Structure 1
Amino acid sequence: MPNSSTQTPAAHALAEKILGSLANAGITADSTQCELIRILSESVGPTASNKRRGVYIYGPPGRGKTVITNSLVAHLPEALTKRFHFHEFFHRLNSPKNRLLGQSLGAIFVQGLERELSGINVLIFDEFHCTEPGDAMFMGKLVKYCEQHDIQLVTTSNYEPEKLLDDDTFHHLVKPIIGSIRSDFEVFELDHELDYRLLSTSLEAPAEGYRRGSLNLLPHPAPIISGNDWIKIGYDQIGPVELRDGIIWITFDQICRTRRNTADYLELASRFSCWHVTQIPASETMPMDEERRLANLIDVFYDKNIEVHLYAEDDLSKLGHMLHATEKARLASRLAQLNRHHDVERTTGSR
């Protein structure tokens, strides 16, 4: 429990509400998580007693970063608080429907920040990361915008600040962001050396959405999709797929071996409540572009709490072998939450 003797009544009340939300989900916070809850309750929101420009929470996957910050969001003023996942945020900012003809990328981004963040005083940003030079530019603008508009930025990340854009060639681009985080944010490492997602009792609510999904190891041949439906995405069409009552059966080739990107996945995830992705090849032989698309797809399913059933030639333990170690660990942690089934019989998509 956070130390109530050193907290203001308002901070103590917020901490108790967060702990109560976790308890209702069957979660008993460990000592490190309790310390984070104390920091958040004292540092964030209109009743903060030790207000900072932001809180940067980092650590390996499965330590409870997202579930704790989601509980925080639930107890802050709704009209003054927004929560975004990395992928969702940049999809909304760069949506073609919000662009004006001839606008520069920078102008589009600034306009998007003004549109999405207007009128709030707390922004919860899940999975803050910089893995490419473009990320550094966007993240720099985000941090600066929040500073200029007195918006507290609470971020979760798998990366220590100094490990953002961990590439000698481009690391200088992210140094101003790191300096700002270190000087103006509360930086907290959440790592109790235990990935709760790998336990039978997870840091998540009882099995629903994503955690109702499965990873199915297949003999040859893989399940066959019998549908003849086509779905539109942008100017493209994907098919034939099978659609029924909000459920989609689609092949790996159709979703990960085409020109799909994270924006497409976000759009498609909003259309179907349950996914079956079939004919996933052996993870050890998967090219980097394909495994990154699959990793991004799983990220979207996880964040949007979408039920997904994967049908693969192996257990996907080698998935991410060409990705950054932190990305690979996050992916493995999320895959571990899916129910495992072996030697699935040959079936069609029809149910």
Structure 2
Amino acid sequence: MVQSLSTAYRERLRSGEIKPDAAQAAAVEALARLESELNALAEPGFGFALFKKPKAPRGVYLWGPVGRGKSMLMDLFFDSAPVTRKRRVHFQAFMAEVHALVGEWRKGDAAARKARFGQTKGDDPIPPVAEYIAEQAKLLCFDELQVTDIADAMILGRLFEHLFERGVVLVATSNRPPDDLYKDGINRQLFLPFIALIQERLELVAVRGPSDYRLDRLRAARVYFTPLDAAAETGFDALWRDLLGGMEETGATLEVLGRQVRLPRAAGGLVRASFASLCATALGPQDYLAVAARFHTVFLEAVPVLGAERRNEARRFVDLIDSLYEAGARLVVLAAAEPDALYPAGDGAFEFERTASRLHEMRSADWLENARD
């Protein structure tokens, strides 16, 4: 039998895994309300007949600073929700899928449209795309809903109008209240209907407790692990698991200049990658800017000692650190040596001094405190 959200949350409190938090308790109450409504509609069997009714249950929108437990609470709800067709997905990954589906509809002939969407007629891709998504999942759980791309902003209102009409229930986490989404964005007036839909169809809950639990964990742990031995690797792995807080590593794919950068170990705003995967492959500044924009915390492992014979890898590493630094991201490193000893001598060592200095700064308490959400 699936454990209820409230029971799962109480167990975490009893075990000491989490601490009592009034803001989290309000979020649990809202999510438990939705869970109860879904359960009631599921009796005696949940065959989605409920979604043929005029309105599906009201969803939930959890917003507040990072580290307050929003993703953890949504994960508990997702596990307990009595819905067979459900998806938990990072919002940016979902929008990448939407744009791909829109492209398929526009470029597809009748046969291709029929195969993918089960229909063929019409110039507007939004209704068939919404119907396709609604067939795949009647409950959508979005982590880190934020809108910075004008292409996303232009279609969200119409897309979710169709999804809600088809009975899709939405639960989302965000660092911003709805009124601040796509703030100061181009043609923002065209985005306002989506904000209105969120306010109408979702219960808004501020999760702004006094403790940033993620930052507390980072403060309590070192964020630069060296050398590359078993003890350092154990500490690095433990901190990664701790910050995940039970989130699944769903991975992420970034679209950069028409290319795809695949990051298999990602969850929400966290990503873990090796030096080899980011710096020993044909990536460049635009790729690193995309990583820095997408993730607030980057775990970088197996950073070797560098020299002139690895000049290209060192150059990429410099670009990566510059991008993360300028974006105000948090960085956790597992390296063969301290920053000053990563490029000890040879052509390029002088230029590397700035990178070493930035690595020192990014491990400081002040940096962790003031890094972006």
Aligned-pair CA distance for 1:117? 3.0
Indicate yes or no: 2:39 matched with 1:47.
yes
Aligned-pair CA distance for 1:135? 1.6
Match of 2:290 among 285, 293, 296: 293
Indicate yes or no: 2:170 matched with 1:175.
no
Cα 1:141–1:127 change in 2 (3 A) is: farther
Match of 1:138 among 152, 155, 179: 155
Match of 1:35 among 8, 15, 26: 26
TM-align CA RMSD: 4.6
Superposition pairs of residues 287-326 of structure 1, within 5 angstroms: 289=286, 291-296=288-293, 298=295, 308-309=300-301, 311=303, 312-313=317-318, 316=321, 319=324, 321=326
Bigger CA drift: 108-117 or 63-72? 108-117
Partner of 1:67: 72
* Cα distance in 2, alignment partners of residues 13 and 279 from structure 1: 40
* Cα distance in 2, alignment partners of residues 19 and 317 from structure 1: 43
SS of corresponding position for 1:319: helix
Structure 1 stretches lacking a partner, 5+ long? 1-11, 214-254
Q: Does the 8 A contact of 1:125 with 1:155 survive in 2?
A: yes
Cα 1:143–1:116 change in 2 (3 A) is: closer
Higher helix share: 2
1:46 is aligned with what amino acid? L
* Cα distance in 1, alignment partners of residues 16 and 95 from structure 2: 30
Deviations 1:122-162 (A, max 9, x none): 21111112212212123213421332012221111111111
Deviations 1:294-345 (A, max 9, x none): 225647x97xxxx742855599598364x6xxxx5xxx3xx25x25663254
Q: Does the 8 A contact of 1:55 with 1:155 survive in 2?
A: yes
Cα 1:212–1:155 change in 2 (3 A) is: closer
Bigger CA drift: 106-115 or 191-200? 106-115
Deviations 1:183-217 (A, max 9, x none): 33211111113321112379xxx97598169xxxx
* Cα distance in 1, alignment partners of residues 176 and 324 from structure 2: 20
Q: Does the 8 A contact of 2:83 with 2:139 survive in 1?
A: no
Bigger CA drift: 111-120 or 39-48? 111-120
Partner of 1:85: 90
* Cα distance in 1, alignment partners of residues 106 and 198 from structure 2: 35
Aligned-pair CA distance for 1:52? 4.6
Structure 2 stretches lacking a partner, 5+ long? 42-55, 110-122, 220-234, 243-252, 304-316, 345-373
Cα 1:149–1:211 change in 2 (3 A) is: same
Partner of 2:5: 14
- Highest Rg: 1 or 2? 2
Equivalent pairs, count: 266
Structure with greater contact order relative to length (CA < 8 Å, sep ≥ 6): 1
Cα 1:345–1:159 change in 2 (3 A) is: same
Q: Give the fraction of aligned pairs with identical amino acids, expressed as a percent.
A: 22
Aligned-pair CA distance for 1:88? 2.1
* Cα distance in 2, alignment partners of residues 70 and 310 from structure 1: 30
Q: Does the 8 A contact of 1:57 with 1:156 survive in 2?
A: yes
Superposition pairs of residues 1-351 of structure 1, within 5 angstroms: 13-20=4-11, 26-44=17-35, 46-47=38-39, 52-95=57-100, 99-100=104-105, 102-103=107-108, 107=124, 110-118=127-135, 120-167=137-184, 169-200=186-217, 208=237, 211=240, 259=257, 264-266=260-262, 269=264, 275-277=273-275, 289=286, 291-296=288-293, 298=295, 308-309=300-301, 311=303, 312-313=317-318, 316=321, 319=324, 321=326, 332=329, 335=330, 338-339=332-333, 342-343=338-339, 345=342
Cα 1:134–1:315 change in 2 (3 A) is: closer
* Cα distance in 1, alignment partners of residues 20 and 124 from structure 2: 43
What's the TM-score, normalizing by structure 1?
0.60
What's the TM-score, normalizing by structure 2?
0.56
* Cα distance in 2, alignment partners of residues 98 and 23 from structure 1: 49
* Cα distance in 2, alignment partners of residues 279 and 95 from structure 1: 26
Aligned-pair CA distance for 1:114? 2.8
* Cα distance in 1, alignment partners of residues 14 and 261 from structure 2: 33
* Cα distance in 2, alignment partners of residues 265 and 80 from structure 1: 28
